[in-house]
Amino acid sequence: MIRINSDFSFIRSYEARGCSLNVERGLDLKILSGIQPSGSLHLGNYLAMMKPMISYMNRSELYVFIVNYHAMTSVSDGKKLAEGTLDVASDFLALGLDPEKCFFWVQSDVPEVTELTWILTCITPMGLLERCHSYKDKIAKGISPNHGLFAYPVLMAADILLYQANIVPVGKDQKQHIEVTRDIAIKFNSMYGDTFVVPEGEINDDVATVPGVDGQKMSKSYDNTIEIFLDEKALKKKVMSIKTDSTPVDEPKDPENCNLFQIYRHFAPNDRVQEVNRLYLEGGAAYGTLKKELVGILWDYFKDSRETKTRLMQDPGYIKTVLARGAEKARAIAASTLKDVRSKVGLNY
Ligand code: ADP
Ligand code: TRP
């Protein structure tokens, strides 16, 4: 049983809906989230998923994993996928995830997830998947869809349900996938009896959609990212390329609609954010100066993690050992859920 701070927004949202979580009593919640090793991780990934997950470490039962099966829907270069997996693992460790205090593993090291995916696939209506925005958006962008892309939300549901997670912290783009997971869990439970926890998504409005340098959602797929770990020259280039408008320095500007401010405000000290916010509203905010300042802020913000990451990347054996131990722990839980599911659906004869 772990005590959870009452500043967690998911607790407020549970309470708002009249649910019976009692913060004073202490909570026994499982928090789970995954990330694709489909490219270098960026500030949007950090703010919406990695930072909150790492902050939950001492306060709940935490499950963090690298979803390499999901990444296969877009990465077909095996070497790139393998290297990307170790890269993401080292990012998490460098940013402070302590593998002794959580479950930290690679999705494909727990093959039970693929069996559960098939079982769930057989109760998932086609219409549910056909309505998924992320699938429809990719088709609209001209990506020729493979079956993996279509079935992606069922694999994600299996990821979540296999570990009986209560809370899934993600960015806004994953909201619909969590709803699909809930629909699948509710349907399974009504067909076969109470089996799965019906999870809640945890989306923090403040970082729901972090903009990229072009103002669209920052995403590995849009070539608009600022990666967490860049060398100083590359970081400078990325930050200086953040798109801003041509309002003169002295004129008032809207901080809410400025990509630069929407990144800046997450990393600068609070009092400086207030000051810059005032400059936007009253006039005096100079984009070029703020961009240079942001380069320095980001460089310092990730300094210690950057050094740890460099060390870790020189020791892939250590990362692999950590992941293998994590998979072993996660697999014990996955096997127990799957045993129950197999028996309920009639695979034990
Ligand atoms: P990408 O879109 O760059 O491929 P992923 O799909 O791997 O990122 O996302 C990993 C996690 O980071 C998810 O929880 C996702 O919602 C979150 N995320 C990704 N980009 C952003 C963003 N720009 N703003 C907020 N959250 C984001
Ligand atoms: N679909 C998520 C993304 O692209 C990654 C993901 C896979 C995930 N399985 C998950 C997130 C389970 C949370 C829980 O970001």
Q: Which domains does the chain have, with CATH numbers?
A: 2-210+316-345 (3.40.50.620), 230-301 (1.10.240.10)
Amino acid 21: pLDDT: 42
Q: How far is the CA of 71 from the centre of ligand 1 (A)?
A: 13
Token representation of residue 77: 């270069």
Amino acid 275: pLDDT: 98
Q: Which ligand is nearest to the CA of 155?
A: 2
CA 306 to centroid of ligand 2, rounded, Å: 25
| pLDDT score for 27 | 60
Is 220 known to be catalytic?
Answer: yes
CB 277 within 8 A of CB 285: no
Give me the pLDDT at residue 66, please: 98
In tens, the pLDDT along 272-294 reads 999 999 999 999 999 999 999 99
DSSP 176-197: HHHHHHHHHHHHHHHHHSS-S-
Q: How much distance in Å is there from the Cα of 27 to the middle of ligand 2?
A: 24
User: 33, 87, 173: which to mutate for ligand 1, most atoms within 8 A of CB?
Assistant: 173
CB 45 less than 6 A from any atom of ligand 1: yes
Ligand 2 atom with least separation from CA of 177: 1
- Choose, from 138, 236, 253, 309, the residue flagged as catalytic: 138
Residues at CB less than 6 angstroms from ligand 2: 32-34, 36, 67, 70, 156, 159-160, 168, 170, 174, 177
Regions in the chain scoring below 50 on pLDDT? 1-15, 17-26
For the question of residue 344 being annotated catalytic, the response is no
Alpha-helix runs per DSSP H in the chain? 9-16, 43-45, 51-55, 68-71, 78-94, 112-121, 126-130, 133-140, 147-162, 175-192, 232-240, 259-267, 270-282, 287-301, 303-313, 316-345
Ligand 1 contact, 64 CB (< 6 A): no
Q: What is the pTM of this model?
A: 0.91
3-state helix, strand, coil in the chain (%, to 5): 60, 10, 35
164 CA from centroid of ligand 1 (Å): 23
Q: What is the pLDDT of residues 102-138, one digit of tens each?
A: 999 999 999 999 999 999 999 999 999 999 998 998 8
Pick the ligand that lies closest to the CA of residue 51.
Answer: 1
138 counts as catalytic: yes
Say if CB 262 and CB 209 are below 8 A apart: no
Span 47-80, pLDDT tens digits: 999 999 999 998 889 999 999 999 999 999 999 9
